Amino acid sequence: MPPLSRRAAPPAARTPAPIARETSALQRSRVLYETKAATIGINKDDLDFEFVKHPQLYNDVAQELALAESYRDDAEARKDQAAASADHRIRRDNAAKGDKAEKMTVDQIKAKVALSDEVVGATAEYNEWKLLAKRWSGLSKSFDQRGSALKGLSQLWLGGYYATASGGRARTDAGDRIAAEVRRAGTGLQR
């Protein structure tokens, strides 16, 4: 399924999107994330296929990362707009009381703004997109590592590592001792 484009609408038609559409985009991105995360594994017995499909998988993840970051930025702008609107409404309502207006400090106004329903909702949406964008970023980095792993596995294959029926278990006792020494050296354990 090709990634959906958010920028298809002309700029004049782009108004703050209803929460329902953003929620469906959020759900779509979550499901797609789980689907793409499941493809991170490599079938070492089918390296040619893995090499062929890797660029497309990487591109899909990069596209979704960009899309999630765009939604996150839009949600942040809506959160800021909601905060400004709530601030304006709180000050206007207080000033409309005339002589009965209470003297509000900046901290009191900030607290009322932060607790307003529209700011709470916009902040929750922003935080969800922020988390999802970070998850896509991590998956993108994982696909970078997947590309490196494919190169390493192909080098092992070219070197004959998978040539034996045991799938590379035809090692010598000396090789096993050297590997054990390396592991001990890496963990700080001594003989």
79: nearest Cα among 38, 109, 53, 114: 114
Contact 118, 90 (CB under 8 A): no
Give the span between the Cα atoms of 21 and 17, in whole angstroms. Answer: 7
43: nearest Cα among 118, 153, 134, 136: 153
Confidence label for 5 from pLDDT (cuts 50, 70 and 90): very low
* Burial of 132 from C-beta contacts in 10 A (0-12 / 13-18 / 19+): buried
Instruction: Return the minimum-mean-pLDDT range out of 21-30, 126-135, 171-180.
Output: 171-180
Q: What pLDDT, on the 0 to 100 scale, is given for residue 119?
A: 96
For residue 21, the tally of other CB atoms under 10 A from its CB is 9
Instruction: Return the minimum-mean-pLDDT range out of 19-23, 67-71, 114-118.
Output: 19-23
Whether residue 134 has pLDDT greater than 70? yes
pLDDT tens string 10-63:
333 333 444 455 569 999 999 999 999 999 999 988 899 999 999 999 999 999
**Percent of the chain at pLDDT above 90?**
59
Coil vs helix vs strand at 83: helix
73 or 183, which is more confident: 73
Which residues are CB-neighbours of 136 under 8 A, at least 6 positions away?
29, 33, 61, 64, 65, 68, 69
Q: What pLDDT, on the 0 to 100 scale, is given for residue 14?
A: 37
Cα of first residue to Cα of last residue in the chain, in angstroms, is: 55
**In the chain, where the domains are located:** 11-159
Whether residue 138 has pLDDT greater than 90? yes
Report pTM.
Answer: 0.69
